[in-house]
Structure 1
């Protein structure tokens, strides 16, 4: 068992988590085949907006933009004021500025998403794990170029001790309480089918 893996469940909170978004770039999206790109955009943008609503620190990276293009515009719009770290390394964790940005937050629970699942997500998630972080891979806010590559990337991460999560459940876990002032913003950001119902019910009961 990896010595860095948490021996028991540790709840993600606003105070212990940081989000690392790796290489959600226009050019890389053209090759995604394991998830519909509209669904992928919905999920990563929802996660980003929820993280902003929850006041989580966010680190955004790109790789070799002259080759793979800029961050997708939908994600850039969801992260106003957050500058990206452009690098050339394949593994984002091999870039000292990325590691420094994450470590400066003082948080040890690292939530990671990236394109592709088996490289941009898996490599930094496993490297950060080896560096003492507890890492969570957001599988449905990541994409890969084949289903096989995605499956192999997920299996490799799990074998290493990375914890797989979904874009909505990780945000709702951090929210923690539906009475929190950020609840409406978080559910609206996630865009889940029942979120409108939750909001309408809360408005109804608050008026009673």
Structure 2
């Protein structure tokens, strides 16, 4: 089970034109907005990476607007774990349970998830918060992650698992957010 004290969200490469052409891009972006607001409500830290932003562009505004106060970590490797700044940022949180969201499922999300698992982290991919240019590539990425021992979850499953109870104002806020 995910715990509020151990969970960290990693948002991978939701950038520029690529974010607009992935499979079901509007749904993905909307889901990422809800996810980010939900984890912020629960005070879960977020690390945000961008793949070669000089070429691919910045994180799309719909997502970036909720990441105020955070700075993206620039990377050029598909696996963010090959970037020392990223690894140090993850370690600095002290968190061991990582939720992964972003694009592309079969490339950067997959390689980063496998890299984090190899470093001993408990990694879960949010299936409704990842995408690729084609549905087939998204499915391939998810299957490869599952074969590597990376669990699948959904935004609602993760958020409610983290909340544990309906006995708080956070529950009411979360319900409003997810509608």
TM over 0.5: yes
Deviates more, 1:44-53 or 1:22-31: 22-31
For residues 14 and 80 of structure 1, what CA distance do their matches in structure 2 show? 21
8 Å CA contact retained: 1:52, 1:79? no
Equivalent residue, structure 1, for 2:157 = 169
Runs of 4+ more than 4 Å apart: none
> Helix, strand or coil: the match of 2:169?
coil
Aligned-pair distance for 1:179? 1.4
SS of residue in 2 equivalent to 1:152: helix
Higher strand fraction: Structure 1 or Structure 2? Answer: 2
Q: What is the RMSD computed on CA atoms of the aligned residues?
A: 1.2
What residue in structure 2 maps to residue 8 of structure 1? Answer: none
Instruction: Tell me, yes or no, if the aligned pair for 1:49 and 1:79 is still in contact at 8 Å.
Output: no
Unpaired runs of 5+ residues, structure 2, are: none
Q: Tell me, which stretches of 5 or more residues in structure 1 are unaligned?
A: 1-10, 193-208
| Distance in 2 between residues matched to 1:187 and 1:73, nearest whole Å | 24
2:2 aligns with 12
TM-score (norm 1): 0.82
Query: CA contact under 8 A between 2:33 and 2:63: conserved in structure 1?
Result: yes
Q: Is the 8 A contact 2:10 2:46 kept in 1?
A: yes
Equivalent residue number for residue 60 of structure 2: 72
- 1:160 offset after TM fit, Å? 0.5
> Following the alignment from structure 2 to structure 1, what is the Cα–Cα distance between the partners of residues 175 and 69?
22
Structure 2 length-normalised TM: 0.95
Structure 1 Cα separation of the partners of residues 92 and 31 of structure 2 = 27
Larger radius of gyration: 1
Q: Distance in 1 between matches of 2:17 and 2:26?
A: 15
The aligned residue for residue 201 of structure 1 is none
